[in-house]
Chain A
Amino acid sequence: MNAPDGFKQMLSVVTRLWDDEDYAAALAEVESMLTSWPGNAHLHVLRAGLVQLEEEPTHELDDAKRALHLAVEFGPGSPAAAIELGHFLDHVEDDPRAAAEAYAAGVAVARRLLLDGLIGQAKAFRQLDKSAEFRRCLMEILHLTRFETGPKRTELEESGADVFFESPAGHFHVVQLTGSYAGRIQELLGGVNSDSPTR
């Protein structure tokens, strides 16, 4: 059994124990896995959840919080740990201010992942001549980029061109491409035929 297979198999044991509400056994399994994979962010998130679910506590609640901070540190590209930390801070510590910061960090990472996926998906639909699906992706991309707070751009970079397009529902929209995704969206629109609703 190689390492990835072993990991997957052990994780499925954790899932079964969690499903059976045997949280103490699931926690012991996760802690055993952490000795082999100490830098795995997902395992730290699982550990934090199981520490909270123990009926007969063997850990302090602060251990759960520390596990979530470790998960954030080990998985900066994954939104799950920061969002889970937000839940802990709000629901367990009743600290909505700290929770809002953690959620914001997780949501920003999740949004960037989603934008990356949608831009890739739009390109694939364009190659397949699936214009309705392409436009649906474009709508989502343009909507999400409105909330994107990337690195500060120069005035020239911010003065993007207006783009007209028709949504799959038949509504016309005008947007100005600004922000860190402007270039990639411009590239996406560049491949659209002149008789299509985007220009």
Chain B
Amino acid sequence: MAKEDEIADDVIPGSLKRSASYHGDYGKMTYREIKALAAAYPPDPKARQMKKLIEQTERLQSKGKGRRS
């Protein structure tokens, strides 16, 4: 799980930064700030997309954890 204080650009890998959902102007925000903007009413569409990219990264990274044979 991404830590709340982690910076988006430190979490999202280079490959996913090429997605249309990546917004460089949100890259220096923390995960907490992005989540807050995504949950606001009305939600910030860029924050919502950046939050999804962070979640995708975290999910994929965790697939390798604890599966060593």
Number of B residues whose C-beta is below 8 Å from A?
24
Whether B68 pairs with A61 at a CB distance below 8 angstroms is: no
Whether the pair A12, B56 counts as a contact (CB closer than 8 A) is no
Task: State the CA gap A108–B68 with chains docked (Å).
Answer: 29
Tell me the dominant secondary structure on chain A's binding face: helix
Closest to B56 in A: A91
In the complex, the answer to whether B61 meets A21 with C-beta atoms within 8 Å is yes
| Chain B proximity of A151: nearest CB distance (Å) | 34
Q: How far is the CA of A87 from the CA of B60 in the complex (A)?
A: 10
Please tell me if the beta carbons of A12 and B15 are within 8 angstroms of each other in the complex.
Answer: no
Per the bound structure, the CA–CA distance linking A49 and B63 in Å amounts to: 9
Given A19-B68, A53-B13, A61-B15, are A93 and B56 neighbors across the interface (CB < 8 Å)? no
Tell me if A55 and B15 are in contact (CB < 8 A): yes
Which residue of A has the minimal Cβ distance to B64?
A: A18
Interface string of B7-46 (1 = CB under 8 A from A): 0000001111011110000000000000000000000000
Given contacts A12-B69, A15-B67, A49-B63, contact A57 B18 (CB under 8 A): yes
Is A114 located at the chain interface by the 8 A CB criterion?
Answer: no
The total of chain A residues at the interface (CB under 8 A) is 28
A59–B15 contact, CB under 8 A?
yes
Chain A positions 8-65 with a Cβ under 8 Å from a chain B Cβ: 8, 12, 15-19, 21, 23, 26, 49, 51-57, 59-61
- Beyond A21-B61, A52-B56, is A92–B16 a contact (Cβ under 8 Å)? yes
Asked if B14 and A91 sit within 8 Å, CB to CB, the answer is no
- CA–CA, A54 to B49, complex, Å? 19
Q: A54-B13, A55-B13 are in contact. Are A92 and B61 (CB under 8 A)?
A: no
Q: Is B52's CB under 8 angstroms from A15's CB? A: no
Please state if A19 and B56 are interface contacts (CB–CB under 8 Å): no
CB within 8 A of A93: which of B15, B21, B60, B66? Answer: B21
How far, in angstroms, from A91 to B14 measured CA to CA in the complex? Answer: 15
Bound CA span A91–B53, Å: 6
A15-B64, A52-B56 given; 20 more Cβ-contact pairs under 8 Å = A15-B68, A21-B61, A51-B15, A52-B13, A53-B16, A53-B60, A54-B13, A55-B14, A55-B15, A57-B18, A59-B15, A61-B15, A61-B18, A61-B19, A88-B56, A90-B52, A91-B21, A92-B21, A92-B56, A94-B21
Q: List 6 A-B contacts (CB under 8 A).
A: A19-B64, A19-B68, A26-B64, A53-B13, A54-B14, A91-B56
